[in-house]
Amino acid sequence: MGGARRSVIGFFVWCLPVFVAAALGGWASASAASFYGELNQPQWAPPGWLFGPVWSVLYALMAVSAWLVWRAHGWVAARGPLLLFLAQLVLNALWSWLFFAWHLGAAALVDIALLLVLIAATIVCFWRLHRIAAVLLWPYFAWVAFASVLNYAVWSLNPQVLAGVVSGISGQFG
């Protein structure tokens, strides 16, 4: 397979897990606009409509970032950093389920804290392999850091709504 063709196919292959994570998070967030709007929020909380456009840009940057690392080094040489990238995608998608679908504010806060650590580790690993790929993840890290503080603030202001119960999770799939 030619280099250009391989590169284009590889780009779409790296878009797939990113957009699967986005879709899973979106599925969990189906009622996010009304739920988020009903929560007590800090004065500095962004309007709900802002999240969709921001996440769309961030997911695109994430896909390009992983693709650049893969294109420059291949799966074998970059397996560790790319697996780290995929692991953070899992936590990314899980957060929406924890917060919006299951109303588990504390669990969502733990998830997003771990997500921040994995994003930082991914940036460090990508930096060693492809600096532009690492830089493309900086806005993602910054937004998730902000979202972490917002998660804590909203959870603190809504303990009765975001207490969640683990047994309630099974009802989401029944």
Label residue 1 by pLDDT band (50, 70, 90): low
Label residue 167 by pLDDT band (50, 70, 90): very low
Write down the pTM of the prediction: 0.90
The pLDDT value given to residue 19: 96
- Spell out the CATH class of 3-168: mainly alpha
The pLDDT value given to residue 159: 87
The pLDDT value given to residue 160: 85
What pLDDT, in 10s, does the model give residues 98-150? 999 999 999 999 999 999 999 999 999 999 999 999 999 999 999 999 999 99
The contacts of residue 2 (CB under 8 Å, 6+ apart) are: none
Please say if the pLDDT value at position 27 is more than 70.
Answer: yes
* Average pLDDT of every residue of the chain: 91
Mean pLDDT of 34-48: 91
Label residue 170 by pLDDT band (50, 70, 90): very low
Q: What does the domain layout of the chain look like in residue ranges?
A: 3-168
Give the separation between CA 2 and CA 73, rounded to whole angstroms.
16
